[in-house]
C-alpha cells in the first residue's frame, strides 16, 4: 500500500493516525507529493484527477481518494472499529467526521487566501466567511467535547486533526480561550502515540 504524502496536510495526517491506530501504518509506503491548488503535481494527477493528497494506492494498484474513503478502506482491511458498524454510534461518528472535515475545509481556504493569493486580490468578506465557519464549528465541538471521553473513532480522530491544524497554521487564533471543554479533551487526545507521531510540519 502507498500514500501520496505531505507532512503538512491534515487530511494525510488523518489517514496516518487511523493507520497507526489500526496497526497497519508500517505497511504503507509514503510517496512524496507536492500537491498545490494552482501548480498541480502531475504525479498525483496521474492517479487522482483532482491532484490532491491524500491519494492512496491499494496493494492491487487501485487509487482511492479522499481521506474519508481511505480511512474507511483501512478500517475494513484491518477489521477495525474506527467506523462504528451500526446504530446511533455510526451516525454520530460520521457526522462528527463531517464537522471536523468542514472545519478543515474552511481553515484550508482561509490559509490559501492569505498564503497563496496575491495581496491585491484578497477578499476580506471571503476570509471572514471562512473564519466564521471555523468559529461555529468550534462552538459545536465545545458542546460535544464533554461527552467524547476516551473514544477513538473516525469522529474523534478528525476533531483531533482539525484542532491540530489550527495550532499549526493559525497559532494566533487562541481557540482554547473560549472552548475549555474542547481544550481539555484535545490535551489528552493529542498525547496518543498516533497523534504525536504525525505532528504536522512544513
pLDDT band per the 50, 70, 90 thresholds, residue 198: very high
pLDDT band per the 50, 70, 90 thresholds, residue 39: confident
From 22, 143, 127, select the one nearest 83 (Cα to Cα).
Answer: 22
| Average pLDDT score, the chain | 96
- The stretch 117-123 carries a mean pLDDT of 87
- What are 125's three cell numbers? 468578506
Cα-Cα-Cα-Cα dihedral of 190, 191, 193, 195, to 10°?
20
63: phi then psi, degrees, rounded to nearest 5: -90, 130
* CA gyration radius, the chain: 17
- Is pLDDT at 119 greater than 90 in this prediction? no
C-alpha span between 18 and 161 (Å, rounded): 11
Report the pLDDT value the prediction gives residue 182, as an integer from 0 to 100. Answer: 98
The architecture in CATH of the region 2-77 reads 3-Layer(aba) Sandwich (3.40)
Alpha helices, DSSP H only, in 28-86?
Answer: 42-45, 67-77
* Placement of cell 496497526 in the chain: 23
Report the pLDDT value the prediction gives residue 38, as an integer from 0 to 100. Answer: 82
CATH class of 87-192: mainly alpha
Peptide bond into 54 cis (omega under 30): yes
Question: pLDDT tens-digit profile of 13-32?
Answer: 999 999 999 999 999 999 99
Pair type for strands 29-32 and 2-5: parallel
Those residues whose C-beta lies under 8 Å from the C-beta of residue 123, and which sit 6 or more positions away, are 113
Question: pLDDT tens-digit profile of 130-180?
Answer: 999 999 999 999 999 999 999 999 999 999 999 999 999 999 999 999 999
Contact between 113 and 106 (Cβ < 8 Å): no
From 165, 177, 168, select the one nearest 102 (Cα to Cα).
Answer: 165
Ranges in the chain annotated CATH 1.20.1050.10? 87-192
C-alpha span between 52 and 90 (Å, rounded): 27
Amino acid at each position: 500500500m502507498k500514500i501520496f504524502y505531505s507532512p503538512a496536510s491534515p487530511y494525510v495526517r488523518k489517514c496516518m493516525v487511523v493507520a497507526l491506530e489500526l496497526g497497519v501504518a508500517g505497511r504503507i509506503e509514503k510517496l512524496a507529493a507536492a500537491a498545490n491548488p494552482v501548480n498541480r503535481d502531475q504525479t498525483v494527477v496521474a492517479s487522482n484527477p483532482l491532484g490532491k493528497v491524500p491519494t492512496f494506492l491499494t496493494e492491487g494498484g487501485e487509487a482511492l481518494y479522499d481521506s474519508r474513503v481511505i480511512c474507511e478502506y483501512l478500517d475494513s482491511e484491518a477489521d477495525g472499529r474506527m467506523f462504528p458498524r451500526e446504530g446511533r454510534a455510526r451516525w454520530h461518528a460520521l457526522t462528527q467526521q463531517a464537522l471536523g472535515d468542514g472545519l478543515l475545509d474552511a481553515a484550508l481556504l482561509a490559509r490559501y487566501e492569505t498564503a497563496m493569493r496575491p495581496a491585491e486580490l484578497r477578499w476580506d468578506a471571503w476570509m471572514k466567511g471562512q473564519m466564521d465557519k471555523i468559529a461555529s464549528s468550534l462552538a459545536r465541538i465545545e458542546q460535544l467535547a464533554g461527552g467524547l471521553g476516551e473514544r477513538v473513532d473516525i469522529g474523534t480522530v478528525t476533531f483531533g486533526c482539525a484542532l491540530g491544524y489550527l495550532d499549526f497554521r493559525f497559532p494566533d487564533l487562541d481557540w482554547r480561550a473560549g472552548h475549555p471543554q474542547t481544550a481539555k479533551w484535545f490535551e489528552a487526545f493529542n498525547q496518543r502515540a498516533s497523534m504525536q507521531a504525525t505532528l504536522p510540519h512544513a
